[in-house]
Copies of this chain bind each other. A is one copy, B any other.
Amino acid sequence: MATVRRLSVVSEAELAQEPEVHALEEETAGLLQVGQLAKIVGKTVRAIHLYEDLGLLRPAERSKGRFRLYEKDAIERVRWISKLQAAGFSLPELREILKEHESTPTAKEAARRLARAYQAKLREVENKLRELRRIERELGASLAYLEACESACDEHVTSGSCPSCDRHRDRPAPPALVLGAFAQ
């Protein structure tokens, strides 16, 4: 009978299914192997390694055989990376934030600098939000127009005539996202 040695860490979206044969030694010591950390935060081992190469994350220690062992705060750190990545920071940019941070002696000054970086990015995020909302509207308008084609158009009509279509009620001009596709 092969008792499988399996690092069972509950991933973010996983139904309880494994019989949980053995608790892990590193888990009991409160430390995580790279694969466990990766599973918890939903990243690959490769990604975790990359973050380390870029100076974003360090294992608390290594096992005798040089296995990386992480404290729980590494989970926070990786989630921090993921969120700010989604906010538009590149990994090198995040490294800059951490470096600036580590080289700042007082907490107050560190807070000021972090605030400055976040402030600038908040403005970018707000701009991106405006852009995406505009695109959301345009996609919606295009979908409405395209669904109207279903009843307004005939099977024998070719797409060449779409840019100058007059079959829709009130003859609206096709939205830009429709025109752009049919143009040329």
Which residues of A approach B to under 8 Å, CB–CB?
57-58, 71, 73-74, 76-77, 79-81, 83-84, 86-87, 97-98, 101, 104-108, 110-112, 114-115, 118-119, 121-122, 125-126, 128-129, 131-133, 135-136, 138-140, 142-143, 146-147, 149-150, 153-159, 161-163, 165, 176-184
A183 touching B108 by the CB < 8 A rule? no
Chain B residue with the shortest CB-CB distance to A154: B108
Q: Given the complex, which residues of B lie within 8 Å of A177, measured CB to CB? A: 80, 83-84, 118
Q: Given the complex, which residues of B lie within 8 Å of A126, measured CB to CB? A: 136
Besides the contacts A106-B159, A110-B182, what 7 more A-B pairs have beta carbons closer than 8 Å? A58-B184, A74-B184, A76-B179, A83-B135, A107-B153, A108-B154, A125-B132
11 CB < 8 A contacts A-B? A57-B184, A71-B184, A73-B183, A83-B177, A101-B181, A108-B149, A110-B182, A118-B139, A118-B146, A119-B143, A128-B132
Complex: how many Å from CA A143 to CA B163? Answer: 48
Q: How far is the CB of A147 from chain B (nearest CB, A)?
A: 6
B155 touching A115 by the CB < 8 A rule? no
Complex: how many Å from CA A139 to CA B84? Answer: 9
Complex: how many Å from CA A181 to CA B178? Answer: 44
Complex: how many Å from CA A128 to CA B139? Answer: 14
Q: Given the complex, which residues of B lie within 8 Å of A119, measured CB to CB? A: 143
B159 touching A104 by the CB < 8 A rule? yes
Q: Among the interface residues A97, A105, A118, A133, which one has the most CB atoms of the partner chain B within 10 A? A: A118
Q: Given the complex, which residues of B lie within 8 Å of A157, measured CB to CB? A: 106-108
B176 touching A76 by the CB < 8 A rule? yes
